[in-house]
Amino acid sequence: MQPTDKTAKELYFEVKANPARKRFGLGKKACLVNIDIQKAYTRTDLFKTAYEADPKQLDYVNELAAKFRKLGWPVVWTNVAYMDSAADAGIWGTRTNTPDSLQNIKFGSERSELDDRLILDRSTDVFYEKKMPSPFFETPLQSLLVWHQVDTVILTGGSTSGCVRAAGVDSLSRGYRTIIPEECVADKHESYHYANLTDLSLKYCDVMEVKEVFEWLDNVK
């Protein structure tokens, strides 16, 4: 193991400034997958489980979604919610049982709702309710990507160390070029956030600034 006295944030920006590996690159057609941008994780004024990294995160996500719709490319939103009994939470719901626990995000609750600041299009966007970290797990997401013949998946949402990371690994495993706009993901703690951005960029995804993704979308032929 290589020792270091640097913070996770310092290591991330060091890797960003001196990339050790070439990018997978952006492909020909993408799907935007917005992961659990719901009030339990975004409304820091209401819930202890919420967090924020970049204060413009939701603005960037809305802009990405608008550009995808303009291109006729799929926009996916996920949220997580469980039955009153939490029987559908599996082993993941057994570690704690407090009002803030994951399995206590109930169907129809405020915690389960997507953030009101998001600009949704119920006529074109796709909505999946998931139970586990990855949006690929037991949802129709893979079938949707095949139908739309995409080769690139762009991930936003949270948390960087949890559901975004799981999505990145699953996306790569299914053969997709996977992009994470760094301003569009967030986590509870700076250390977890930057440590996982570093790891994802070195192994599974291309982590890039959102302006680069905007430029790519604006120049799609």
> Would you state the pLDDT for residue 97?
94
What pLDDT band is residue 20 in, cutting at 50, 70 and 90? confident
Q: How far apart are CA 183 and CA 58, in angstroms?
A: 9
Structural domains of the chain, with CATH: 8-17+25-218 (3.40.50.850)
- Are the C-beta atoms of 89 and 133 separated by less than 8 Å? no
Q: How many other β-carbons are positioned within 10 Å of the β-carbon of residue 79?
A: 23
Provide the 10 A C-beta neighbour count for residue 104.
Answer: 18
- CA distance linking residue 218 with residue 210, whole number of Å: 12
The count of other CB atoms within 10 Å of the CB of residue 113 is 16
Q: Which pLDDT band holds residue 21 (cuts at 50, 70, 90)?
A: confident
* Chain segment 68-83, per-residue pLDDT in tens: 999 999 999 999 999 9
Predicted local confidence at residue 54, as pLDDT: 97
C-alpha 71/C-alpha 12 separation (Å) is: 32
Range list of H helices, the chain: 8-17, 39-42, 57-71, 141-148, 165-173, 190-203, 210-218
Query: Is the separation of the CB atoms in 75 and 126 below 8 Å?
Result: yes
For residue range 27-68, list pLDDT tens digits in order: 999 999 999 999 999 999 999 999 999 999 999 999 999 999
pLDDT for 221 beyond 90: no
What is the spatial distance between Cα 36 and Cα 114, in angstroms, rounded to a whole number?
A: 7
pLDDT value of position 96:
93
pLDDT digits (tens, 9 = 90+) for 173-200: 999 999 999 999 999 999 999 999 999 9
Cα angle for residues 200, 134, 95 (degrees, 5° grid): 105
The whole-number pLDDT of residue 134 equals 98
Tens digits of residue pLDDT in 111-165 = 999 999 999 999 999 999 999 999 999 999 999 999 999 999 999 999 999 999 9
Instruction: Please say whether the beta carbons of 177 and 24 come within 8 A.
Output: yes
pTM (whole model) above 0.95: yes
Does residue 219 surpass a pLDDT of 90? yes
Question: Is 51 in contact with 164 (CB distance < 8 Å)?
Answer: no
- What confidence tier does 169 reach under pLDDT thresholds 50, 70, 90? very high
Which DSSP helix (H) or strand (E) runs through 34? strand 30-35
Residue 165 CA: distances (Å) to CA of 108, 121, 195, 197: 26, 26, 11, 9
In this prediction, residue 162 carries a pLDDT of: 98
| pLDDT of res. 45 | 97
- Chain mean position to CA 172: 14
Mean per-residue pLDDT for 89-115?
96
Report the length, in residues, of the chain: 221
